[in-house]
């Protein structure tokens, strides 16, 4: 369903009226397209403190005399209050000049467990970036990346400094040690196989399309009742469809049988809602949501790792939700299932990487414009759209682009992360 308020605020009368009434004035976000693959304008590189990175942080960008499309602040060397003053001094004069729908990315360092002054200063960067994200406006985003190795940052910075990250703001992303990867940045998933559960429609279909755009051979998995949609999408993408109830006890074994040559990217997207307040929720509504959203994820992940179907260098991307991070009335079942996904990611990620060479991450969507959210009553829907720093709902493509970044061969240093795709929702952290 079209966001009529967003369209109205883009008109002269709409801007005048909403300004006079003190109403939100969201900016139409610039997202990736073939016609708009990157921002026009340069990236302004700044430093606060003495940089602790071992090399240049991420890709090179052309400088520009125009308003910067992005600002990249290296604050890895900030270790005390004086260093935080340098953060203010660096960004205070330039924030207003960042182009509409531009980017601010702050590079921080891991918290030092034996230097509480450094830990305090680096943790302060989190409050700083989240707060700046809530005030910067005009479709601009602000994110913090904690890293110690500049060589590990490229895929993350390419994502955050591009139109692909339009609905990702106020996030703190930890990047570990660089992993070797031979990358074709134009088709990074070429020669790789990706499986998307619940892939026939909605967000799952957008994920399948984006992974195929990046070169993957996509397997669209969905329940038998959605097989026609799954087959049609797979045919269009040059992939294949797999009709399967993901809650079946042998789902993992059947996936492995269908993919004898192995799998490189596993996207757990299948999910359902059965909303009702706990006092009115029968056991069936509880169990069905936990079964689809969490139990099936646990079973199939275990099976595909144990059989070696997920090859070394593989990626697991699960779908959490801000409902699992912040809670939501009427969704104790859904919130529990999505919080469970977060627990899975945080526990499994280090072991999966050490034992299988596979990373495990999650995306946590906020209010995304789908058929499901279009059915929400008007006033609740409008509240969902406006209660974030960007003042609008996200699109399935926003979740898909974030998933594609986590699935990227060069994203091996990103592991155990739960990245909210919510426009910096005002709900939760």
How is residue 287 written in tokens? 């169990």
Q: 3-state SS string over 94-154? A: CHHHCCCCCEEEEEECCCCCCCHHHHHHHHHHHHHHHHHHHHCCCCCEEEEEECCCHHHCH
The per-residue pLDDT string of the chain (429 residues; one tens digit each, 9 = 90 and over) reads 678 888 888 888 888 888 888 888 899 999 999 999 999 889 999 999 888 886 666 555 544 546 899 999 999 999 999 999 999 999 999 999 999 999 999 999 999 999 999 999 999 999 999 999 999 999 999 999 999 899 999 999 999 999 999 999 999 999 999 888 888 999 999 999 999 999 999 999 999 999 999 999 999 999 999 999 999 999 999 999 999 999 999 999 999 999 999 999 999 999 999 999 999 999 999 999 999 999 999 999 999 999 999 999 999 999 999 999 999 999 999 999 999 999 999 999 999 999 999 999 999 999 999 887 777 777 778 888 999 999 999 999 999 999 999 999 999 999 999 999 999 998 765
d(C-alpha 272, C-alpha 391), whole Å: 26
Superfamily of domain 193-421: NAD(P)-binding Rossmann-like Domain (3.40.50.720)
Whole-number Å distance between alpha carbons of 216 and 301: 20
Phi-psi region of 45 (alpha: psi -120 to 50; beta: other; left: phi over 0): beta
- In the CATH hierarchy, which fold is given to the domain comprising 31-174? Rossmann fold (3.40.50)
Domain boundaries, the chain: 31-174, 193-421
Kind and range of the H or E run holding 207: helix 202-213
Are 31-174 and 193-421 equal in CATH topology?
yes
Question: CA gyration radius for the chain?
Answer: 21
| Per-position b or e across 99-136, b if 16+ CB within 10 A of its CB | bebbbbbbbbbeeeeeeeebbebbebbbebbbebbeeb
Is residue 334 part of the annotated active site? The answer reads yes
pTM higher than 0.75 for the full model? yes
Positive/negative CA dihedral, 178, 179, 184, 188: negative
Burial class of residue 249 in the structure, from the number of CB atoms within 10 Å of its CB (0-12 exposed, 13-18 middle, 19+ buried): exposed
Which of these is catalytic: 32, 334, 367, 405?
334
């Amino acid at each position: 369903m079209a966001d009529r308020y967003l369209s109205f605020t883009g008109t002269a009368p709409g801007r005048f009226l909403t300004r006079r009434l003190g109403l939100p004035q969201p900016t139409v976000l610039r997202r990736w397209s073939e016609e708009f693959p990157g921002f026009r304008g340069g990236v302004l590189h700044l430093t606060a403190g003495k940089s602790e990175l071992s090399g240049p942080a991420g890709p090179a960008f052309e400088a520009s005399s125009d308003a910067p499309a992005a600002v990249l602040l290296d604050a890895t060397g900030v270790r005390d209050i004086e260093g935080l003053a340098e953060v203010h001094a660096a960004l205070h004069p330039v924030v207003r000049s960042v182009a509409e729908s531009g980017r601010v990315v702050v590079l921080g360092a891991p918290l030092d467990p034996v230097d509480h002054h450094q830990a305090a200063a680096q943790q302060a960067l989190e409050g700083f970036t989240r707060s700046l994200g809530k005030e910067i406006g005009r479709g601009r985003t602000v994110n913090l990346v904690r890293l110690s190795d500049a060589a590990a940052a490229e895929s993350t910075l390419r994502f955050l400094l591009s139109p692909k990250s339009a609905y990702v703001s106020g996030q703190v992303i930890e990047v570990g040690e660089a992993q070797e990867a031979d990358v074709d940045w134009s088709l990074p998933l070429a020669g790789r196989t990706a499986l998307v559960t619940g892939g026939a429609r909605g967000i799952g279909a957008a994920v399948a399309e984006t992974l195929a755009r990046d070169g993957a051979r996509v397997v669209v998995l969905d329940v038998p009742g959605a097989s026609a949609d799954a087959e049609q999408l797979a045919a269009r993408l040059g992939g294949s469809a797999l009709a399967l109830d993901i809650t079946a006890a042998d789902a993992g074994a059947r996936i492995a049988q269908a993919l004898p040559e192995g799998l490189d990217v596993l996207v757990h997207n299948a999910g359902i809602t059965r909303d009702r307040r706990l006092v009115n929720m029968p056991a069936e509504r509880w169990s069905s949501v936990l079964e689809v959203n969490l139990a099936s994820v646990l079973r199939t992940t275990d099976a595909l790792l144990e059989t070696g179907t997920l090859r070394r260098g593989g990626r697991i991307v699960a779908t959490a939700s801000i409902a699992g991070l912040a809670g939501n009335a009427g969704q104790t079942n859904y919130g529990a299932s999505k919080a469970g996904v977060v627990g899975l990611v945080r526990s499994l990620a280090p072991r999966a990487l050490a034992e299988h060479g596979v990373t495990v991450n999650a995306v946590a969507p906020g209010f995304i414009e789908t058929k499901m959210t279009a059915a929400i009553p008007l006033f609740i829907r409008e509240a969902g759209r406006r209660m974030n720093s960007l003042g609008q709902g996200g699109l399935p493509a926003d979740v898909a682009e974030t998933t594609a970044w986590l699935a990227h061969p060069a994203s091996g240093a990103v592991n155990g992360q739960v990245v909210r795709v919510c426009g910096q929702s005002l709900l939760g952290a």
